[in-house]
Amino acid sequence: MGKIYTFLKYFFITVWTVFVVAPFLWALTTSFKDFNSVNGGATYIPWVDFEPKLEGWKVLIKSPANGGVDIIEPYFNSLFVTCTASLISIVLGTLSAYALSRYTFKAGFVKNNDITFFFISQRIMPPIVLSIPFFLFLGSINLLDSLIGLIVVYIVLLMPIAVWIMVDFFNKVPREIDETALIDGCNPYQAFFKVVLPNSIPGLIVAGMFCIIFGWIDFFFAFILTFTEVQLLPVKIVALNSSITPWWSLSASALVSVAPLIVVAFIVERYLSKGNLSGAIK
Amino acid sequence: MNFKHKYIFLFPGLFVLIGILIFPIIFVVRLSLSGWNSYNGLNFIGLENYIRLFTDDPRFWESFFRLSFLSVTTVFLQYVIGFALAHMVWKDIKFQRFFRVLFLIPMMTTPVIMTVIWRTFFHESLGPVNDILSNFGMSPKWLTDPTLAKITVIIVEVWQWTPFMFLLLLAGLLSLPKEPFLAAAIDGASPIRKFIYVTFPLMAPISIGAIIIRLIEASKIMDTVYVLTSGGPGTSTETSSFYIFIKGLREFQMGYAASMSFTYLIIMIISLTVIAKVLTKLLLKD
């Protein structure tokens, strides 16, 4: 019984590992191919099946004038938009989450839970519903095709995540530590910034990681709300996917875009092992 | 004195969110009651868009049922696989951290970008899948056969988002209390009984949360479809979002697209609430 389970376990894990890794390996080999080795059918092993070329990687840093792809600027645009929107969402979301966790609000039939639900429910909103009005709205205030416009939109995407994780996190931080701080003569702001916040760093990191993930992987809003002035990485890479697709540079740029988030995966796993995520999810 | 500063904590976030959203929401409703074209702008036409939607647009409803099918199937698969994986790396496994990180990685990758890679992966003549299958005399049309295209979308979605389910469920497993498991061990329960009577019931609330979160996210499926099949072949992988996108931002029937968006939003909220209630009843029997 135990042996069968162990065998099945490792079998299943192996199969899944292969499934997870397969597209990455495929992208990695494809990125070293050129036109001939792609169009002759599928090949896998460099030097044996095909002659590896660096063309796919070289075009990434060439300027478009020389036939390059130039993903450097979109890369930094993406980083900038994601990080700024995440930071704003975390700051505002944490403050609101703290208020919702520690104080009671009542306005008519609206209570704390309803306000929390309002924040989180923004995730239910299908992006398409917002995209058309945002398109016209940002157009009317001249923020279409700009970094600021995108940051504004991303705040709507990310703040619900920050509030969701931080409310649950603050609920787990014992109230006594605020109360002790207040008795010791802190005002509520000092109590929050000097006592509660330093005790909430794991929660902030987890919330930050989630914001960064969901900001970085967004394609839809960047696709609809920007055209030529500002391009984000996913839009740029997908634009390569035209009728005559350069599979090699496509694969290389895909790998480059995935790379920074691998670090995030390690951080998330670390906090997961320490049990810091559990409260956020219930 | 409590009443003042609690608002100072709450309001910045709340008002920024409301401030950004209030215009779009009102505008969607207003737009949905209007005709729109580039030369006369908005003109009020009452409920005409809604009447057209409910009486004369089977394509929208088909895309909605397709979406329901795709999201329920993918979330179900993600739940089963994610739970299995989480349970397997929960304890007693070699290279535990390695597998945990590895299984998380797909959700960190940008769906559209990975979908572009998947497109080359499933390419009919140049991709590795058909290259291997051709040894057995098969060459399935992954992206151009109506049924297979749906399956391809499901495969890609499962690859992309099972890690999220895995993450939520593993976090849940790691937070479970130890006592029930000790009790089960003392009673000499077999692993299967332990799972059915201890682990699964304890995980029920987390399972519900995770399934709802994933259903919400899965209902937005759009990137994958856009890159993988563009809704095709024909309309066989077209989801609601994608259809609204085509009407609104390709054919510029903004008013009609807005009425679809609004209807779609209402249906989503109602169906997700119902699903949440039903799941709570099913999984939390006691």
Band of residue A280 on the pLDDT scale cut at 50, 70, 90 = very low
pLDDT exceeds cutoff 90 at B77: yes
For chain B, what is the mean pLDDT?
A: 84
Residues 66-125 of A with CB under 8 A from B: 92-93, 95-96, 98-100, 102-103, 105, 115, 118-119, 121-125
Asked whether the beta carbons of B133 and B139 are under 8 A apart, the reply is yes
Q: How far is CA A98 from CA A95, A208, B281, in A?
A: 5, 16, 32
- State the sign of the Cα–Cα–Cα–Cα dihedral A214, A219, A221, A225: positive
Using a CB-CB distance cutoff of 8 angstroms, which residues of chain B are in contact with residue A233? 110, 113
Q: Going from the N-terminus, what domains does chain B have, and what CATH number goes with each?
A: 58-283 (1.10.3720.10)
Q: How far is CA A186 from CA A7, A80, A210, B10, in A?
A: 59, 36, 32, 20
Residue of B11, B22, B93, B116 to mutate when probing chain A, most A C-beta within 10 A: B116
pLDDT attached to residue B265: 86
Band of residue B162 on the pLDDT scale cut at 50, 70, 90 = very high
b or e along B147-161 (b: 16 or more beta carbons within 10 Å of the residue's beta carbon)?
ebbbebbbbbbbbbb
Comparing A179-183, A237-241, B57-61, B265-269, the range with the smallest average pLDDT is A237-241
B286 three-class SS: coil
pLDDT attached to residue A34: 76
What is the CATH code for A72-239?
1.10.3720.10
A123, two tokens: 């995730």
pLDDT attached to residue A126: 79
Distance from CA of B2 to the nearest CA of A (A): 8
pLDDT attached to residue B39: 60
Asked whether the beta carbons of A218 and A154 are under 8 A apart, the reply is yes
pLDDT attached to residue B1: 45
For B86-99, how does the pLDDT look when each residue is reduced to its tens digit (9 = 90+)? Answer: 988 887 777 888 88
pLDDT attached to residue A68: 67
Band of residue A220 on the pLDDT scale cut at 50, 70, 90 = confident
pLDDT attached to residue A64: 67
Minimum CA–CA partner of B86 in chain A: A13
For B200-256, how does the pLDDT look when each residue is reduced to its tens digit (9 = 90+)? Answer: 888 888 888 888 888 888 888 888 888 888 877 878 888 888 888 888 888 888 888
CB atoms B191 and A5 under 8 Å: yes
- DSSP secondary structure letters along A247-275: HHHHHHHHHHHHHHHHHHHHHHHHHHHTT
Helices (H), A122-246: 127-140, 147-172, 175-183, 188-190, 201-216, 220-225, 233-239
Of B88, B118, B264, the CB nearest to A129: B264
For A154-168, how does the pLDDT look when each residue is reduced to its tens digit (9 = 90+)? Answer: 998 899 989 988 888
Comparing A31-45, A242-256, B66-80, the range with the smallest average pLDDT is A31-45
pLDDT exceeds cutoff 70 at A281: no
For A191-202, how does the pLDDT look when each residue is reduced to its tens digit (9 = 90+)? Answer: 888 888 888 888
B74-93 average pLDDT score:
89
The domain locations on chain A are 2-61, 72-239
* Apex A242 CA angle, B233 and B64, nearest 5: 35
Asked whether the beta carbons of A167 and A101 are under 8 A apart, the reply is yes
A19-36 average pLDDT score:
85
pLDDT attached to residue A282: 42
For B240-282, how does the pLDDT look when each residue is reduced to its tens digit (9 = 90+)? Answer: 888 888 888 888 888 888 888 888 888 888 888 888 888 888 8
Band of residue A30 on the pLDDT scale cut at 50, 70, 90 = confident
Question: What interface predicted TM-score (ipTM) does this complex get?
Answer: 0.85
Residues 170-229 of A with CB under 8 A from B: 187-189, 192, 213, 216-217, 219-220, 224
Output B285 or A243, whichever has higher pLDDT.
Answer: B285
pLDDT exceeds cutoff 60 at B2: no
CB atoms A99 and B6 under 8 Å: yes
CB atoms B99 and A13 under 8 Å: yes
For B38-72, how does the pLDDT look when each residue is reduced to its tens digit (9 = 90+)? Answer: 566 677 777 878 888 888 888 889 888 998 999 99
Judge whether A240 is closer than 8 Å to chain B, CB to CB: yes
For A203-219, how does the pLDDT look when each residue is reduced to its tens digit (9 = 90+)? Answer: 888 889 889 988 988 88
Judge whether B128 is closer than 8 Å to chain A, CB to CB: yes
**Chain centroid, CA B66 distance in Å:** 13
- DSSP secondary structure letters along A33-83: --HHHHHTS---SBTTTB---SHHHHHHHS-GGGT----HHHHHHHHHHHH
pLDDT attached to residue B154: 92
